[in-house]
Amino acid sequence: MYLRGNAYGYDAVPIKTAHLEYDYSLCKNVLNNLSAGSDNGKLALKRCILL
């Protein structure tokens, strides 16, 4: 999230930073996401931290 800068977006100052932690632990071995690696479930958001 940014404070509004001038009309062209210059001088914008961040007021919040989001840190997202996620993995593929939801719905293991689902048919629409069979990747070659071991992470082959649906993407699940584990934690959202606002700094």
Domain boundaries, the chain: 17-51
Per the confidence metrics, is the pTM higher than 0.85? Answer: no
41 and 28 Cβ atoms separated by less than 8 Å: yes
The pLDDT tens digits for 6-17 are 656 667 777 888
DSSP letter for 34, please.
Answer: -
Confidence of residue 19 (pLDDT cuts 50, 70, 90): very high
Q: Is the separation of the CB atoms in 20 and 7 below 8 Å?
A: no
Q: Are 48 and 17 in contact (CB under 8 A)?
A: no
